[in-house]
Amino acid sequence: MRPPYYEIENLFQKQLYLIFYKMQEPHLFIVYIIHSGEGVKRALLFGLFPFYALASVINYDVPVQDVKYQITTVDGYTRIIAPGGFSYQKPGYPELPAVGFNYLLPQGYRLKTVRVIDSIWEIIPGSFYIYPKQKEHLIGEKCQFTEPIKTIYEADTFIPGQIILSAVSGNLRGYPIAQ
């Protein structure tokens, strides 16, 4: 059941919506806020304290050590290919693969946030000139090669500079999942 809509600041609407939506049915608690202004913010914050105690935290291990990839050379560029992977970069940026994982959630739960608790970076030995991400096009359609963006390729920084997180939750054949 979706909670009622509240006429308050967006930050609080989203926070309240996410917390309500994540609760299991026995813990569902509806707060009616009829005033606006500073008093509403205080009442809302006070009303949310019990919900943080009820919200569940679930830890999952992401098996990145099991991700297989292969390194090939194409026209002087290096391509890193991961089966089932996709490229999230913009055209002209280095084409680096991303891999997604699916997790079964307990019944009645939805994903609220994702946080990386620990990470280990692995440096692949060697020197690579990574293939640039190409513009999307239809299969069979001729397209022009997208050159690497010079300022990106000449920069003395890591790409990506941090772990890329993108997470959503939904249902797959009636089961709640996080992806």
pLDDT at 140 over 70: yes
pLDDT value for 76 = 92
Nearest in space to 149 (alpha carbons), one of 79, 81, 89: 89
pLDDT at 147: 94
Give the DSSP H/E element, type plus range, for residue 121: none
Closest CA to 51 of 77, 74, 13, 23: 23
| 85-102 pLDDT per residue, tens | 888 889 999 998 888 888
Q: Note the pLDDT tens digit of each residue in 30-56.
A: 333 333 333 333 333 333 434 444 456
**Residue 125 scores a pLDDT above 90:** no
For the ranges 76-85, 112-121, 168-177, the lowest mean pLDDT is seen at: 112-121
Domain boundaries, the chain: 10-54
Cα(117)–Cα(57) distance, rounded to whole angstroms? 12
User: Model's pTM, two decimal places?
Assistant: 0.58
* pLDDT surpasses 60 at 4: no
